[in-house]
């Protein structure tokens, strides 16, 4: 599917979400809207002509790319895109879905764990969960000591947390570099944390 088929005004993406470097991403917009918009930042190469009273802007995309570009970020992002294309997005998606289903089964079998979010078929490679009576930050520290990286907190989604009736969650993400052994290690470590905090024995 290409941008025009999406039927949207703009489409944005972050480089670090697709194995690229941090600090770079992309923004694609409808040409008519971009032509009508003034630049949000001024600097070198985004102008065509600077007069005493008026200025004319450069052509797209230069109009919105003021100053020295993030060259190393662009090179890294291009390499990441090439790598993902080599793997094949359909294969990546299938791998994520398979691993996600396995993670939901494994974490769902750990006592006192509550899984949050939609059914597996409506998710990406992410699972959020809560361990009863254990704050996600405490859980994430124990998991980190086991070499397992998760994110804990409200995930920039406080209204959703309120709707779910929780203050925060623990979130595990899976991608092309993850496999079933990572899921097994996560489930075992969560179960170990449950024992350490004596959940269910209070």
CB 18 within 8 A of CB 87: no
The CA distance from 177 to 196, in Å, is 29
Annotated catalytic residues are 156
Instruction: Please give the full DSSP string across 119-166, using - where no structure is assigned.
Output: -GGG--SEEEEEETT--HHHHHHHHHHTT---EEE-TT-HHHHHHHT-
């Amino acid at each position: 599917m290409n941008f025009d088929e999406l039927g949207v005004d703009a489409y944005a993406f972050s480089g670090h979400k697709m194995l690229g470097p941090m600090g770079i991403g992309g923004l694609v917009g409808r040409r008519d809207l971009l032509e009508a918009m003034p630049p949000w930042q001024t600097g070198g190469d985004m102008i065509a002509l600077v007069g005493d009273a008026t200025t004319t802007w450069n052509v797209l995309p230069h109009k919105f790319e003021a100053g020295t570009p993030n060259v190393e970020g662009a090179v890294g992002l291009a390499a990441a895109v090439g790598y993902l294309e080599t793997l094949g997005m359909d294969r990546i998606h299938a791998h994520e879905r398979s691993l996600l289903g396995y993670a939901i089964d494994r974490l769902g079998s750990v006592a006192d764990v509550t899984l949050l979010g939609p059914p597996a078929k409506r998710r990406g490679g992410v699972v959020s969960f809560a361990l009863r009576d254990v704050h996600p930050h405490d859980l994430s520290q124990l998991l980190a000591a086991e070499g397992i990286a998760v994110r804990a907190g409200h995930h920039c989604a406080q209204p959703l947390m309120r709707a779910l009736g929780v203050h925060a969650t623990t979130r595990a993400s899976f991608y092309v570099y993850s496999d079933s052994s990572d899921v097994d290690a996560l489930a075992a470590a969560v179960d170990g944390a449950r024992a350490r905090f004596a959940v269910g024995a209070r």
